[in-house]
């Protein structure tokens, strides 16, 4: 419920602010995000992963984290003019300087956060994250209503870290003092180093569009593109983390039985496609009404890139399912090569696409990531002992049902109700889409329907 409230407030804030504000924040966020991936060298995760870790080692990690974060904060503050010059946006200088404090704030809750994860106290973590997110968006909303523009987003970003410090330190119930001696930390550094390397590569290709777009597009166009990307990513951010969080330990526990691993993986493919395919098929059709209703006419530029991105998001969703299964069976080498391939191809695609504006950037995702998906799928499925035909066979039911829904909804929208108000159109088309998809699934994809319904009933119990 908290996340729903936070997203409603976020959407209202988008209506208040303008694309330039989001463009400036996207430029700042992509730089901050990159430094964050290397900020603690994966040592927080090392605390969670190491079987027997003592208090002194935790103190050593805390000391190292403090040094790294303070150093990055100084680096960001001093480098603000250079980063602003790269984007050719002088307004970014004070924004970078203020956001540099986030590194210091984050260093004060990374260790307590890792302790909660080590205890598998996911409920406390969810409560803290939800509370921090809610307070952050409220601060952003109040600032936006008082005409603070892009600074509304900056204040919100600082607030979420400040609240997290309080929450994680209270719930961890441990006071950790830093130790600036790093003897005996070799294994922790090795684990964290490999993890950080993978994070850097992933971040490099997944955020290359913003980094390149910030160089070649205006802040207004980049803001429009970043909001389209943010909107279209919501289903992935809400569905996939839940599945992947459970998937990794599940695969690890049965890694010696290849048949069960394949069965688990194909089941995850069916579940994800059952939800993701209709969501993006429907969004593709109702994007004009949806954007006009929730964001307003000043954000109409979001519609075209959002519709193009709807076509690539199912591929991105399916490709993320390979990582937990490959890591679970110990084939991190396959995962690493997959990320390397994407890290080479996608930036090239974005450099080419940027010449055609935000539409070109969205097409770069569509065409470039389709090639990445084929490459990743072939290598990963071969490792798992699954043929491409079996893989696509498990997608067939949801794909056909989604296409049936798309044809019906698009046809009705085009022929009958295109002249009605956007509000009436949107309500009617969503209801029609849901009914059509459920009927199509029940008719032509009965086994998948029964499988999903069985999962829902088991969760209710």
Give me 60's structure tokens.
Answer: 């050593």
Spatial separation of the C-alpha atoms in residues 109 and 116, rounded to whole Å: 11
**Cα–Cα distance between 300 and 280 in angstroms, integer?**
19
pLDDT of residue 256: 57
pTM (predicted TM-score): 0.80
- Whether the Cβ atoms of residue 432 and residue 407 lie closer than 8 Å to each other: no
User: Please, are residues 364 and 308 in contact by the beta-carbon 8 Å criterion?
Assistant: no
pLDDT 10s digit of each residue in the chain, 461 long? 666 788 788 888 988 998 999 999 999 988 888 888 777 666 666 665 566 666 677 777 788 888 888 998 999 999 999 999 988 889 999 999 999 999 999 888 888 888 787 777 777 887 888 889 899 999 999 999 999 999 999 999 999 999 999 888 888 777 777 777 667 666 666 666 666 777 788 788 888 999 899 888 888 999 999 999 988 988 887 666 656 554 444 454 455 566 887 888 888 888 889 989 999 999 999 998 899 888 888 898 999 999 999 999 999 999 988 877 787 676 777 888 888 899 999 999 999 999 999 999 999 999 999 999 999 999 999 988 899 999 999 999 899 999 999 999 998 887 776 666 777 888 889 999 999 999 998 888 777 777 777 666 554 55
Task: Find out whether 167 and 128 touch, Cβ atoms under 8 Å.
Answer: yes
Residue 52 DSSP one-character state: S
What is the distance in angstroms between the CA of the first residue and the CA of the last residue of the chain? 20
**Cα(383)–Cα(304) distance, rounded to whole angstroms?**
38
In the chain, what are the domain boundaries?
1-206, 217-461
CA–CA separation, 89 vs 24, rounded Å? 8
Burial tier of 214 (Cβ tally within 10 Å: 0-12, 13-18, 19+): buried
Tokens for 107?
Answer: 């260093």
- DSSP annotation of 330: T
Amino acid 60: pLDDT: 78
Dist CA 319 CA 376 (whole Å): 7
Contacts of 144 (CB under 8 A, 6+ apart): 13, 16, 17, 152
């Amino acid at each position: 419920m908290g996340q729903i409230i936070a997203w409603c407030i976020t959407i209202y804030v988008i209506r208040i602010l303008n694309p330039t504000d989001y463009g400036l924040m996207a430029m700042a966020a992509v730089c901050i995000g990159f430094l964050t991936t290397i900020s603690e060298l994966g040592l927080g995760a090392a605390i969670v992963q190491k079987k027997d870790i003592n208090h002194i080692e935790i103190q050593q990690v805390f000391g190292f984290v403090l040094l790294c974060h303070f150093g990055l904060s100084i680096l960001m503050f001093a480098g603000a003019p250079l980063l602003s010059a790269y984007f050719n946006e002088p307004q970014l200088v004070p924004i970078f300087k203020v956001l540099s404090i986030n590194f210091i704030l984050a260093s004060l809750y990374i260790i307590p956060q890792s302790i909660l994860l080590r205890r598998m106290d996911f409920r406390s973590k969810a409560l803290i994250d939800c509370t921090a997110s809610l307070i952050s968006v409220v601060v952003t909303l109040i600032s936006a209503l008082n005409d603070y523009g892009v600074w509304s987003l900056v204040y919100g970003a600082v607030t979420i870290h400040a609240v997290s410090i309080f929450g994680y330190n209270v719930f961890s119930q441990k006071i950790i003092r830093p130790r600036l001696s790093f003897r005996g930390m070799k294994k922790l550094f090795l684990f964290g180093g490999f993890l950080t390397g993978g994070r850097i590569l992933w971040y490099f290709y997944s955020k290359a569009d913003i980094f390149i777009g910030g160089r070649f597009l205006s802040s207004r166009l980049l803001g429009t593109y970043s909001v389209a990307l943010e909107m279209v990513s919501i289903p992935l951010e809400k569905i996939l983390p839940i599945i992947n969080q459970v998937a990794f330990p599940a695969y690890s526990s049965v890694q010696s039985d290849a048949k069960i691993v394949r069965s688990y993986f194909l089941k995850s493919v069916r579940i994800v496609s059952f939800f993701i395919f209709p969501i993006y098929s429907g969004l593709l059709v109702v994007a004009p009404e949806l954007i006009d209703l929730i964001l307003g006419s000043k954000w109409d530029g979001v519609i075209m890139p959002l519709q193009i991105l709807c076509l690539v998001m199912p591929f991105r969703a399916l490709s993320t399912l390979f990582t937990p299964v490959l890591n679970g069976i110990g084939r991190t080498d396959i995962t690493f090569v997959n990320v390397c391939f994407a890290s080479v191809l996608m930036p090239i695609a974005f450099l080419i696409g940027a010449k055609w504006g935000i539409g070109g950037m969205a097409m770069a995702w569509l065409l470039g990531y389709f090639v990445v998906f084929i490459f990743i799928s072939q290598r990963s499925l071969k490792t798992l002992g699954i043929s491409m035909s079996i893989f696509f066979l498990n997608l067939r039911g949801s794909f056909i049902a989604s296409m049936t829904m798309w044809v019906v909804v698009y046809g009705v929208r085009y022929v009958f109700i295109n002249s009605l108000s956007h509000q009436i159109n949107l309500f009617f088309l969503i209801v029609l889409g849901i009914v059509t998809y459920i009927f199509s699934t029940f008719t032509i994809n009965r086994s998948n329907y029964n499988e999903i319904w069985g999962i829902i009933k088991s969760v209710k119990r």
